[in-house]
Amino acid sequence: MPFNAKEREDIAHIWGKACGQAEALGAEVFDRLFKSCPATKTYFSKFNLEAGSADLKRQGGKILNAVGVATKHLDDLDSAFSQLSELHAFKLRVDPGNFDLLCHNILVVLAIHFPEDFTPAAHSAWDKFLASVSVTLCSKYR
């Protein structure tokens, strides 16, 4: 789905604020995901799932930095996420429904941490962007 100039600006602006705290924000995303959707914990059985643990910070940093890469590939998400979608589909075997759950929690954490920047237009742009990320990561399941 194409992004207009304002959407691109809102996506880049909020990522510019979030990128310096990817691990802390990502850990919070996972804490919210595990508390709101406990079944998602089953994929991380080897991790310490306590809020703010080193495992959650490391994994949270990985997913948010991958989202950060995606903010710079809005027109070619498929190729940017090709390896990651194969990893999740064929090796990790993550059920596709979980991507929307994670993306929703990313949205909530961004809204909480950047309330001034999270305008209705930015909300809409990030919702559209994360939905595209989710669809792309699920593309190998078809």
Q: Which residues bind ligand HEM (CB under 6 A)?
A: 40, 43-44, 62-63, 66-67, 84, 87-88, 92, 94, 98-99, 102-103, 133, 137
Q: Which is nearer to ligand HEM, 74 or 94 (CB)?
A: 94
Q: How far is the CB of 72 from ligand HEM (least distance, A)?
A: 14
8 A C-beta contact, residue 25 and residue 109: yes
Q: Which is nearer to ligand HEM, 56 or 67 (CB)?
A: 67
Nearest to 120 by CA among 136, 72, 28, 128: 128
How far, rounded to the nearest angstrom, does the alpha carbon of residue 70 sit from its chain's CA centroid? 10
CA distance linking residue 17 with residue 33, whole number of Å: 22
**Which two structure tokens, joined as six digits, stand for 64?**
């948010």
Q: Which is nearer to ligand HEM, 6 or 58 (CB)?
A: 58
CA distance linking residue 51 with residue 94, whole number of Å: 22
Q: Which is nearer to ligand HEM, 5 or 89 (CB)?
A: 89
**Residue 97 CB contacts under 8 Å (≥ 6 apart), including other chains:** none
Q: How far is the CB of 81 from ligand HEM (least distance, A)?
A: 8
Q: How far is the CB of 141 from ligand HEM (least distance, A)?
A: 13
Q: How far is the CB of 91 from ligand HEM (least distance, A)?
A: 8
